[in-house]
Structure 1
Amino acid sequence: MPPHAPRRRARTRRSIARLRSASIDAFAIWRRRLLFLVGGICVGLAAVFMAKLADAAQAAFRQILAISPLLALVVTPAGFGVAALLARTVFPNSQGSGIPQVIAARHTHDPALRHALISLRVAFGKIVVMALGLASGAAAGREGPTVQVGAAIMAAFGRLTPQRLPGLILAGGAAGVAAAFNTPLAGIVFGIEELGRTYEARTTGLIVAAIVAAGLTSLWLVGNYTYFGTTDAGLALGGSWLLVLVLGFAGGLAGGLFSRIVILFGRGLPGRAGAWIGRRPVAFAMLCGLGVALCGLASDGASYGTGYEEARAILHGDAAARLDFAPLKFAATVLSSISGIPGGLFAPSLAVGAGLGAALRDLFAEVPIGALVLIGMVSYLTGVLQAPITSFVIVTEMTQDHAMMIPLMIAALVADAASKLVCRGGLYHVLAEQILARADAPAEPVRRTA
């Protein structure tokens, strides 16, 4: 045997081992990419289904009101009671918007808690009970629930791989926003600002791929559309820009007040009132439903549901907003949020902001109604979320009105500062901290916007 033969065989074995290792690594990389893409498609399908279901639920409630508006005094409390009971007993962790659950799931180190927050069972319950709430007249949206459903779908795909990437949860939530609003840029920004605060560099491209997959699925099913339709409103540089500061401050204070109320009830009211709510959560939900019904009667039905149609009509000047629309929608959204039933905040917050902007039309008669409404939307949404970048990006994408970009940025910054005067922490992150505290699970600190 030639003296160099053993060395040659050793080199051959090492080469084969390297090729095998490279093949395994390549397979793992492509499997991970495929999970993000297929998961994104499933999130897009879920978002479209939830949109259709929400529309059908609201249409069913309008048919009930067509018989007699007074039926809401029975239907809404009863629906709230059943929804709260299901959310607490059959589908726990499906309450509220779902975004705090996703944030908590990203930060907890407890796999059991993570699964309990974003399981497919919770996602199914979220969809069913959300539809029940809207069919009962709840002033709630479907976009926040889409985030939790999207995160649950991606987490389920993550269980197919041993790596269990945390980026899957972030990708699912961000893809949910992108598909729900048809706003891919807002999905990316929302992932950075709200769900993750920062991107993990190794998963950035995959997260974008999931958002693209979800967006293309929605585009294929419902076509290319802008959520509120396109507008060409503008704001000439001059004295009218005082509006940006006034609306920004007012919207920020109102949004901060909303968040403070929801956080207060989330922690539990002190004294006998808090103890009674703790013992009788279903009865409390029914009382909240009665309050929503009274708001609906006072507003001639305008305060029910997501508020999408009302906000769109105000934005395009198809209907003049009543002066009491914003406060009644605000009250109905507060009651829906503290009742414990599933439902999101994006669409109702945009509706409140639209009403707030339109209410100032007489004071700023020279400003186009579209500009007033857009600034009001961004201001109030920023006040609620304390996420200024997400707020102005999502409104800009929903209307394709890039001429208003700078005024909306300024309004968002002013509103964020005003909101922090009333409520120190961002709503979703404070609620996520409460979830982790109740679970008493080890977790990373939930970072808030500075």
Structure 2
Amino acid sequence: MQRFSLYQRLLSWLDRSVLRQLRSDNVRTATQLAIPFWIASIATGLIAYLYEKGFSWAEDVCREWLAGVPAMAFLITPVAFLLAWGLVYYLAPGARGSGIPQVMAALDLANPGHDHKVGYLVGIKVAVVKIISSILLLLGGGIIGREGPTIQIGASVFRWIAHWQPKNWPQLSRKVVLVTGGAAGLAAAFNTPLGGIVFVVEELTRTHITHFRTPVFTAVIIAGMTAQAFLGPYLYLGYPPVSPTGISFLGIASVTAACAGLAGAVFAKLLDKINSYRKRWSSTSGQVGWVFTCGLLFAGLIFLFGLDAMGTGKPLINRLLFNPFSHVAWYIFPVRLAGMVLSYSSGAAGGVFATSLSAGAILGKLLAGWLHVAPAHTTMVILVAMVSFLTGVARSPFTATILVVEMTDRNMVIFPLLVGALVAQLVATLVDSRSLYERSKSTFFAEALQQPGAPAPV
């Protein structure tokens, strides 16, 4: 209890010195409900900033190592994979993978009967392991993103803050805490407040937002502003040059979307199948062998195909978006998909949100060449493919669209992107009626139910 006294003393001081001076009981109650959200939002924004810096450092260090001596991948990558997996396996199994399915499963468990089991999926220990494991995996060149993990981290921070507020204060809804934390995490990670709000509506709650509206709006604003205070008012993907398109472009957009949505859905289904197959290796020695093999195979990809076969893919996206005459070899697309599978199925922490955008960007560039699209419209094709591939994986067409629009500050492209996202959603549904996140959620939900649980979110 002593280690949490500073936070509790702060709230007690506010209660004595400030809140009791408020004459209206309603105003006092509303303020008591808001203060934990404000503190949690600021903390989430700060952690997202530090996490981004750690991610960038790990990717830069790995690139520096392997650019000089590519053969080092055969040593660095398997070791990094094993360390990242071992941290999760022994300390916090609920930290593996993306983080979005865990928050979805935690929402289903957030009721008086099962709330004590939520700590397996969302908690401070889970968040710390998530951060360290994903950075270790990226040091080995892993093709992972930090956006899904930041959603789980945000939910963990919000749950921890809510748990340690004074018991005589109005208690926050369990579901509101998790939903708001997830939205704040996404907003801070991508600097996309609208994307965080739409993500809550489309992916986390799948219900009317009435009960979550004010907390979500407040949290994404505060978390986003906190991240901006350190990173500046940045755009995740800058200002890519986009030329106006007419109605005729919708045909190209639809073909691009159908191909990218199909690719995303097939990739997600393949990833789910491989994760299911991995369960056959249930012993610790079997798990070690699986992870080492994943790392060794991935090292081979890096050695054979170079630095484009590793990392988050953000440098690759920027290169394709800002230079319509840039070139990418066709084989980089299947190579990065294979790398995503190997990285994700290693059992360490790391998401597929941002890496799906990079896969879509590569496919969009290839399709633009195959369809003989004019250089002026190549960027638009790439953006449509990014949205569509992510839609095929996550089945969140509006979230994918709003994220890309906010990341590029190109409102003029929203209608072609929406068309592409809806086409991709239709095609992806024909491949599999459930998204990767929905299937993973079922696994994490079942695992959490088997845990004894703990009353405190640690």
* 1:181 aligned onto 2:190: yes
Q: Which residue of 2 aligns with 1:129?
A: 133
2:411 partner amino acid? H
Whole-angstrom distance in 1 between the partners of 2:62 and 2:26: 53
Q: 1:372 to 1:157 in 2, by over 3 A?
A: same
2:101 partner amino acid? P
Native 8 Å contact 1:326 1:351 kept in 2 = no
Q: Which residue of 1 aligns with 2:323?
A: 317
Q: 1:159 to 1:294 in 2, by over 3 A?
A: same
1:372 partner amino acid? V
Where structure 1 has 5 or more consecutive residues not aligned to the other structure, the ranges are: 1-18, 443-450
Q: Which residue of 1 aligns with 2:354?
A: 347
Native 8 Å contact 1:235 1:241 kept in 2 = no
Give the deviation of 1:25 after TM superposition.
4.8
2:145 partner amino acid? G
Whole-angstrom distance in 2 between the partners of 1:325 and 1:179: 30
Whole-angstrom distance in 2 between the partners of 1:433 and 1:92: 15
Native 8 Å contact 2:152 2:182 kept in 1 = yes
Give the deviation of 1:238 after TM superposition.
4.4
Whole-angstrom distance in 2 between the partners of 1:199 and 1:50: 32
Q: Could you list the structure 1 runs, at least 4 aligned residues long, displaced by more than 4 angstroms after superposition.
A: 19-25
Give the deviation of 1:22 after TM superposition.
8.6
* 1:401 aligned onto 2:410: yes
Give the deviation of 1:28 after TM superposition.
2.9
1:168 partner amino acid? V
Q: TM-score, normalised by structure 2?
A: 0.87
Whole-angstrom distance in 1 between the partners of 2:449 and 2:221: 36
Give the deviation of 1:24 after TM superposition.
5.0
Q: Which residue of 1 aligns with 2:100?
A: 99
Where structure 2 has 5 or more consecutive residues not aligned to the other structure, the ranges are: 1-19, 452-458
Give the deviation of 1:100 after TM superposition.
0.8
Q: Which residue of 1 aligns with 2:270?
A: 261
Match of 2:149 among 142, 145, 162: 145
Whole-angstrom distance in 2 between the partners of 1:106 and 1:191: 12
Whole-angstrom distance in 2 between the partners of 1:51 and 1:104: 25
What is the correspondence of 1:19-418 to structure 2 with a 5 Å cutoff?
25-108=26-109, 109=111, 110-161=114-165, 163-165=171-173, 166-266=175-275, 268-269=276-277, 274-276=279-281, 280-317=286-323, 319-362=326-369, 363-366=371-374, 368-418=377-427
Native 8 Å contact 2:92 2:120 kept in 1 = no
Whole-angstrom distance in 2 between the partners of 1:21 and 1:40: 24
Give the deviation of 1:184 after TM superposition.
0.6
Q: Which residue of 2 aligns with 1:16?
A: none
Give the deviation of 1:203 after TM superposition.
3.3
1:145 partner amino acid? P
Aligned length: 420
Whole-angstrom distance in 2 between the partners of 1:167 and 1:327: 40
Native 8 Å contact 1:44 1:176 kept in 2 = yes
Give the deviation of 1:278 after TM superposition.
5.5
RMSD of Structure 2 on Structure 1 (CA):
2.1
Which protein is bigger by CA-based radius of gyration?
Answer: 1
Native 8 Å contact 1:374 1:408 kept in 2 = yes
Whole-angstrom distance in 2 between the partners of 1:190 and 1:224: 21
Whole-angstrom distance in 2 between the partners of 1:440 and 1:88: 18
Whole-angstrom distance in 1 between the partners of 2:21 and 2:115: 32
* Seq. identity, %: 33
Give the deviation of 1:425 after TM superposition.
0.5
Whole-angstrom distance in 2 between the partners of 1:160 and 1:439: 22
Native 8 Å contact 2:391 2:425 kept in 1 = yes
Q: Which residue of 2 aligns with 1:436?
A: 445
SS across alignment from 2:93:
coil
1:237 partner amino acid? G
SS across alignment from 1:397:
helix
2:356 partner amino acid? S
Whole-angstrom distance in 1 between the partners of 2:282 and 2:291: 9
Q: Which residue of 1 aligns with 2:6?
A: none
Whole-angstrom distance in 1 between the partners of 2:405 and 2:364: 16
Q: TM-score, normalised by structure 1?
A: 0.89
Whole-angstrom distance in 1 between the partners of 2:340 and 2:306: 16
1:322 partner amino acid? A
Q: Deviations over 1:382-436 (max 9, x none)?
A: 1110100001110111111112111100100011111112222021122111211
Whole-angstrom distance in 1 between the partners of 2:434 and 2:244: 32
Q: Deviations over 1:297-340 (max 9, x none)?
A: 33311021110011111111173222222221111111111111
SS across alignment from 1:339:
coil
